[in-house]
Amino acid sequence: MAYVAQEWKTRIPENMNPLSPSGFKFLINKLPKMHFYCQTVNLPGIILGEPEYATPFSNIPIPGEKLSFGDLTLQFLVDETLENYQSIQRWLFGLGFPKEYSQYIDFINSDTITAGPNSELSRNYSDASLFILTNNNTESKLLSFKNVFPTSLESLTFTGIDNDIQYLVGQVTFKYSYYDFE
- Domains contained in the chain, number: 1
Which residues are CB-neighbours of 159 under 8 A, at least 6 positions away?
A: none
Chain segment 30-43, per-residue pLDDT in tens: 998 898 999 999 99
What average pLDDT does the segment 158-165 reach? 83
The answer to the question of residue 57 being in a domain is no
Predicted structure pTM score: 0.84
pLDDT per residue as tens digits for the range 72-81: 999 999 999 9
Instruction: Provide mean pLDDT across the span 52-74.
Output: 94
Tell me, yes or no, whether 61 lies in a domain.
Answer: no
Question: Cα(128)–Cα(27) distance, rounded to whole angstroms?
Answer: 6
Would 62 be classed as within a structural domain?
A: no
Handedness of CA 7, 11, 13, 16 (dihedral sign): negative
Where helices occur in 97-140 by DSSP H, the ranges are 102-110
Question: In this structure, what CATH number is given to the domain that contains residue 95?
Answer: 2.30.110
Q: Is residue 109 part of a domain?
A: yes
| Full domain range(s) for residue 89 | 18-45+68-181
- Please give the average per-residue pLDDT across 164-179, as a whole number: 94
pLDDT-based confidence at 159, cuts 50/70/90?
confident
